[in-house]
Structures are given as C-alpha cells and as structure tokens.
Structure 1
C-alpha cells in the first residue's frame, strides 16, 4: 500500500482511501497527501476538513479521484 501512496503523492493526486480508524470502524476518506514518514502519512482530509495523520498499515485500499470533464455533452 505504501507504494500506491508514494505514487499518488508524486503525481499530486487527490485520492480516496478505505481506512480502519482507531475505534476499528472502517471509513472512507478523501485526502491529499502532504508527507510520508515511516509508517504514517500526513494528509489533508477533505472529509473532516483538517490535516490528519494516518497509519499506513490501516489503509485498506487506495483509489485515485477522477474528475469528470466539464462542458462535454453526449
């Protein structure tokens, strides 16, 4: 999972993660990575509107956020 997070950070991507919180609840967070250090990730969490630290071992999945192109009509 660490490799996926590093790649997302290198590409300056906003990502969605599935994460096991401290209370063992599984949550979905939309984040922008700031720093990877050891076994933690510092990121801005759009869900909570605050900077948060996530434990890499608790990240279950990483999904890039793909924005739809505006102004296109089918």
Structure 2
C-alpha cells in the first residue's frame, strides 16, 4: 500500500480508495495524494472537493484510477 501511495504522490496520479470512517460508514473516494505520514495520508478528495486526512488503517481497498484516452495523449 505504501508503495502505491508513493507512486501516486510522485506521478500525481489519482487513486480510488474504499474507506471506513470513524462511524463505520464505508465510502468510495477518488483522491490524489498530497502528503504521506506514518499512520495517515493527506489527499485531495474529488467528491468533497478539498484536502482530507485519511487513516491508513481505515483504507479497506486501493487501486490506481485508469487513465482515459485524453489523459494518455496529454
């Protein structure tokens, strides 16, 4: 997971995460990593349209967002 965070941070690539919040609500978010700490990541959340903090232990799944044709050509 940490390698994926690092790669996303370096390449400014979006990630799709499944996250469980403090009230055990599960959400799927598209994020772009801003900073990585030992137990948290700071990421721009596209659904909330602002930078949010996510506990690493509460990230249930993670994968890179696939580039569409226009992003690949840029």
The two structures share one fold, judged by TM-score above 0.5: yes
State the 4+ residue runs in structure 1 displaced beyond 3 angstroms. none
Instruction: In structure 2, list runs of 5 or more residues that go unmatched.
Output: none
Displacement of 1:63: 1.3
Which structure has the bigger radius of gyration? 1
Displacement of 1:4: 2.1
**Does the 8 A contact of 1:5 with 1:62 survive in 2?**
no
In the other structure, the counterpart of 1:69 is 69
Distance 1:18 1:3 in 2: 17
Question: Which one has the bigger helix percentage?
Answer: 2
Count of matched residue positions in the alignment of Structure 1 and Structure 2? 70
